Amino acid sequence: EAGVTQSPTHLIKTRGQQATLRCSPISGHTSVYWYQQALGLGLQFLLWYDEGEERNRGNFPPRFSGRQFPNYSSELNVNALELEDSALYLCASSLDTSGTHNEQFFGPGTRLTVL
Amino acid sequence: AQSVTQPDIHITVSEGASLELRCNYSYGATPYLFWYVQSPGQGLQLLLKYFSGDTLVQGIKGFEAEFKRSQSSFNLRKPSVHWSDAAEYFCAVGPVGGFQKLVFGTGTRLLVSP
């Protein structure tokens, strides 16, 4: 069974540009999560999508946005890039979240570098 | 607010020696607790999880962790470390505020000496 996949592996942008990161969850998983792992800041929760809807977002500005498609894949968009947006962006997926908490399975991440 | 503390930033262990990584949490109810491992340049791999029941949980790669409610701890242990265990280890708690997200500790980097 394929795991969570993310593309691209690396992304280099300049300040002010927009970045688009993509994630495909494990087959059968309906929830997708995005986390940012920036140097010195640890892993920070960004966004949670379930059944195509944004369910929760972390303490990030509105220029961080995303969506979930009907096939449950997801896209994270970062507008007006700033130097401090340089980080590893991790996507995770889990089964239907109704009922008990479901463990999250992580992808390999996209390394975003903003110059 | 929910939080996770991993007090050790770096730990060096000799190959074959035992390992214990500390994790303390702050959570209003019974938490769901996780340990993840991250090798350089890689994503996170789940080692083990605690939801309820037996407070000693077994995971993959020979790891185990013990949930101690009285100490708000969920320490990770391994009886004999292998060089391939060198990585960064993250403790996490969830759900948070009724939402299915994880709050992570800052991580502990494990170095294994020959």
pLDDT digits 0-9 by tens, B32-49: 899 999 998 788 999 999
Q: Which residue has better confidence, B31 or B85?
A: B85
Put residue B53 in one of left, alpha, beta given phi > 0 → left and psi -120 to 50 → alpha.
Answer: left
Q: Which of A74-78, B7-11, B98-102 has the lowest mean pLDDT?
A: B98-102
A102 neighbourhood in chain B, CB within 8 Å: 100
Amino acid at A75: E
Interchain pair A106, B106: CB under 8 A:
no
Is the pLDDT at B57 greater than 60? The verdict is: yes
A104 neighbourhood in chain B, CB within 8 Å: 46, 102
Residues 6+ apart with CB under 8 A from A90: A6, A34, A35, A36, A37, A43, A106, A107, A109, B43, B44
Residues in chain A predicted with pLDDT less than 50, given as ranges, are none
List the beta strands (DSSP E) in A8-59.
10-13, 19-24, 31-38, 42-50, 53-57
Distance CA B62, CA A82 (A): 42
| Nearest residue, CB atoms, B95 vs list A4, A58, A101 | A101
Distance CA A1, CA B37 (A): 20
Report strand pairing: A5-7 vs A10-13: unpaired
Question: According to the model, what pLDDT value does residue A1 have?
Answer: 67
Question: According to the model, what pLDDT value does residue A67 have?
Answer: 96
Contact B100, A55 (CB under 8 A): yes
Residue from B49, B60, B100 whose CB has the most chain A CBs within 10 Å, to mutate: B100
| Nearest residue, CB atoms, A33 vs list B42, B49, B101 | B101
| Nearest residue, CB atoms, A94 vs list B97, B100, B103 | B100
Q: Which residues pair with B27 in a beta bridge?
A: none
Please tell me which residue of chain A has the smallest CA distance to B107: A42
The average pLDDT across B4-25 equals 96
Distance CA A79, CA A64 (A): 7
